[in-house]
Amino acid sequence: MSALGHYIERSGVASVAISLVREQSEQVAPPRALWVPFPLGRPLGSATDPEFQKNVMRQAFALLESASEPTLADYEGDDPNVAPSDDEQPWVCPLNLAVPIDESLTSRLSGEVASLRPWAMQTRKARGRTLFGATGAAPEQVDDVAAVIAALAEGDASLTEPPGDTIEWRFEMPLLIRHLADDLRTHYHEAIAAQPGTGTPDHDDLNDWMFGAHTDDGTLSVPGTVLGEALLAIADRLTDSDHPMAPFVRGFIIPEGRYHGGAAF
């Protein structure tokens, strides 16, 4: 929207934008923009407070009266739904992974991977590198990697035969499964690195997010991702396999204590 503002203004229509990524808006220098410190996808801040949302809009529209040259103003106020410090709230993933209509694991995993793609790309751009690619796949082939994982989880692909020839895989099956899992986890972790939030996840936080977590009485307290569900299904297939590498691979795709409450090795 910041870039479109220039074209709109050339037509004689005043414009104002709400900016979520300050660096991008600074480079574009829109005619008028209000930068808000809210998570991406939530430009009006609180999702359940209409008055708060109206206040954001009022500050944005006020720039139509006060800004006579390219202006990037800061939002004045705090989001009531954001905790004031990391110490007051444990880390939770701020992503809202929408449930697609097609409930198959393949469709759900594809949707989950797609929803994370913009965030992962943001991290890679900021770092100038990526750890994705252990399998031989390029970052833009993440959908192909996800499709193989889904096929393995649903029993539609062999644990020992190469999963097609569209990618020059660096490993043979079933060892390739370990690196397929690693590449997808990298995609997820790089996406999380770009997410605004109220804390920094540690190893256990990430595993809780990926595979789910339960309270002492067995109640599910943190739902897992579709990727975690897929990896557990693959681990079950590896358990039933008589291939000598199967237990070894299973231990590498499932963290300690996450395989039916016990060790994966």
Q: pLDDT means per 10 residues in the chain (265 residues)?
A: 69 86 80 85 81 92 84 80 51 60 87 92 94 96 97 97 93 97 96 76 88 75 89 96 96 90 73
- Please state the separation of Cα 174 from the chain's center in Å: 27
Report d(CA 57, CA 156) in Å as an integer: 50
Report d(CA 180, CA 171) in Å as an integer: 10
CA distances from 21 to 33, 47, 52, 54, 224 (A): 11, 19, 20, 21, 29
- pLDDT value at residue 84: 45
Name residue, tokens 């300690």.
256
- pLDDT value at residue 100: 52
- pLDDT value at residue 42: 81
- pLDDT value at residue 156: 96
- pLDDT value at residue 199: 67
Secondary element (H or E) of residue 9: helix 2-10
Kindly compute the dihedral angle of the four CA atoms of residues 149, 155, 160, 166, in this order, to the nearest 10 degrees.
-50
Check: pTM over 0.75? Answer yes or no.
Answer: no
- pLDDT value at residue 234: 97
- pLDDT value at residue 2: 60
Domain boundaries, the chain: 2-74, 105-253
Apex CA 161: angle with CA 156 and CA 163, to 5°? Answer: 65
